[in-house]
Amino acid sequence: MGFSYLTEIEDIAKQQGVPFWRVIIEDDMKERNVSFEESFETMRGMYRAMREADASYDGTLRSVSGLAGGDGAKLEEFKKKKNRLIGDFLTEVMEKAVKMSESNACMRRIVAAPTAGSCGVIPAVLLTYESQREVSEDRLIEALFVAAGIGEVIAESASISGAEGGCQAEIGSASAMAAGAVVYLEGGSDEEIMHAAALALKNMLGLTCDPVAGLVEVPCIKRNVSGAVNAIVSSQMAMAGIRSAILPDEVIDSMRRIGKLLPACLCETGQEGLAITPTALEVVRKLREEA
């Protein structure tokens, strides 16, 4: 089972007169041979795991490399300042994106959404939405199904692997998924969901995967922040009536082609980009000495 195009989901939703998320959950029910309740509760478990990971963040923890940890706490303090250029919603999104990603680097329990390297984007967006808007948990779960549907299409038609398609496949995919989820929460149409995903993904096309020392820490953690904020901005453009000039499914196909064109040295091999800067090479040297 599964979907190769967003328009497949849209067409089924129209034919059956059901919301976007319902098409996704019914596909999951058939794929795994489970009931509606079992599928929904599985997704609820994932959302609650995201919430728990955020709540249990420890700003004193540091990753083994020493490259990650503590920045989430800095953003939490920054949120208290009154002279910020950005509002409470985006500041909290930034904070939660870093906290989730740092928890991953520090070997805490997270939800790969869709990957561990991009684990901060969707939780940051949805958990902030929950804390700042009146919304039921069930509706947030429905939004996660919307995100899952978008992710399924990207995985089927392009890639969600940084090693295969660059960071556009990880942070880009997560950002597109989160953008669509927000549009659903805001009461947007299926068309707006798809175009929000397209707008978000377009902004991430060509993003390389060049982690320092091969770790999902630098620049991955801060890219989660960019992906989360990008998702919010893209959702708002779609809700304002802006549409991607390139059709959503064509944007996904473009990501596939771009991923194939990226040289291996920019796809998680540590052979180019930020991974071979003098600073990065010094980190590698120290880690080898300590091993």
pLDDT > 80? residue 19: yes
- In this prediction, residues 126-139 reach a mean pLDDT of 97
* pLDDT, the chain, mean: 97
pLDDT score, position 98? 98
pLDDT band at 1 (very low <50, low <70, confident <90, very high): low
pLDDT > 80? residue 245: yes
d(CA 178, CA 230): 9
pLDDT score, position 291? 80
d(CA 135, CA 256): 35
pLDDT > 70? residue 200: yes
Residues 203/230, Cβ–Cβ less than 8 Å:
yes
pLDDT band at 2 (very low <50, low <70, confident <90, very high): confident
pLDDT > 70? residue 186: yes
- In this prediction, residues 180-192 reach a mean pLDDT of 98
Q: Tokens for 36, please give them.
A: 């509606």
pLDDT > 70? residue 86: yes
Total residue length of the chain:
291
* pLDDT one-digit tens code per residue, 34-43: 999 999 999 9
Q: What ranges do the domains of the chain cover?
A: 6-290
